Amino acid sequence: MATSLNNLAFLYQSQGRYSEAESLYVQALAILFEKLGDEHPNTQTVLENFLLFLQQVIRENRAAELSDYPVTQQLIQQLQASL
């Protein structure tokens, strides 16, 4: 299920449907963290995909379109601080 959510999130990302993509990435990560843990390769892959997504959103100045999910906002702040 988490892999399908990740793949659909990537599709939405490629279509510029960022708020929908974000929700799916967050759902996929929640499943993976719970079922496989944060060190599992699948979890790390989806987390990396989410970070790349957030970097794209920041580059395009579209972060305001994303939700107030704490994980999203925390990662955006960290990414912006590293720029």
Q: Give the pLDDT confidence of 7-56 residue by residue, as tens digits.
A: 999 999 999 999 999 999 999 999 999 999 999 999 999 999 999 999 99
Nearest Cα neighbor of 49 from 70, 66, 28, 34 is 28
Instruction: Please name the residues in contact with 28: beta carbons below 8 A apart, sequence gap of 6 or more.
Output: 2, 3, 5, 6, 9, 46
Q: Where along the chain do its domains lie?
A: 2-81
pTM of the predicted model, to two decimals? Answer: 0.95
